[in-house]
Amino acid sequence: MFSHRGCIRAADGTQAGIDEAGRGCLAGPVVAAAVILPPDFDLPGLTDSKKLSARRRAVLAQAIKAQAVSWALGFSWPGEIDRINILQATLKAMARALNALQVSPELVLVDGNQSFPSSLPQQTVIGGDALHPCISAASILAKTFRDDLLQCMDKRYPGYGLDVHKGYGTKAHLDALRRLGPSPAHRNTFRGVGPEPRETQLWLPGI
């Protein structure tokens, strides 16, 4: 369990944590969340979303939304991901989440080592989703929302198992892609989604 006293704080104590989910997936959007927690938050078991069961994440997500000073989500969909690449799309989703907050923080803590254009001061934190409660909270909101979204997308694009693997490149997912081809939910520039480029050979007479 985190103590809020361990957070890096701006002068007035208002900080936002930002994290994303779905960056490495073959289908669906990348989803970013931004969360500002109050000083007296009470979220037992709060930690990196990857270390929690789906049931525990769902319980914590509801508590985070109830207690947060402000929270918001940002998205980048497959078309944009294919157009500008996954890194730039992830940074755009993070910026959209931050801009959607109803409270402007004094400091933004970003999980990872990449900052994004913003007028607000930022600090990147590698492994921040296990170190800072506000980033952990963001990781949980991003993950739970995206998982729920992929369950809905599975109903619209059946046959790929999106509700099971949530868009990640499992063997079952890759087999479905070879059998069915990509759906509109897929990222066509990702390896394993579209047909592999065929090797071209130069044939010269007598060789």
What is the average pLDDT score of the chain?
A: 90
Rg (CA), the chain: 19
Tell me, what's the pLDDT at 203? 44
Q: In the predicted model, what is the mean pLDDT of residues 33-44?
A: 96
Write the DSSP symbol of residue 49: G
pLDDT band at 12 (very low <50, low <70, confident <90, very high): low
pLDDT band at 200 (very low <50, low <70, confident <90, very high): very low
Q: Whole-angstrom Cα distance, residue 19 to residue 11? A: 23
Q: Give all strands (DSSP E) within 66-159, no chain letters.
A: 70-76, 107-111, 122-125
| CA proximity to 36, closest of 93, 123, 105 | 105
Out of 14-23, 118-127, 137-146, 196-205, least confident range: 196-205
Tell me, what's the pLDDT at 7? 47
Both tokens assigned to 68 = 């947060």
What pTM value is reported for the model?
0.88
Cβ-based neighbour number of residue 123 at 10 Å: 14
With a cut of 90, say whether residue 105 has pLDDT above it: yes
For the sheet containing 30-36, what is the strand order?
Answer: 70-76, 30-36, 15-21, 107-111, 122-125
With a cut of 80, say whether residue 190 has pLDDT above it: yes
pLDDT band at 103 (very low <50, low <70, confident <90, very high): very high
Cα of 50 vs its chain's centroid, Å: 12
Q: Whole-angstrom Cα distance, residue 96 to residue 73? A: 7
List Cβ neighbours of 145 (8 Å cut-off, separation of 6 or more).
Answer: 21, 31, 33, 61, 73
Q: Whole-angstrom Cα distance, residue 1 to residue 43? A: 8
Q: Whole-angstrom Cα distance, residue 6 to residue 9? A: 9
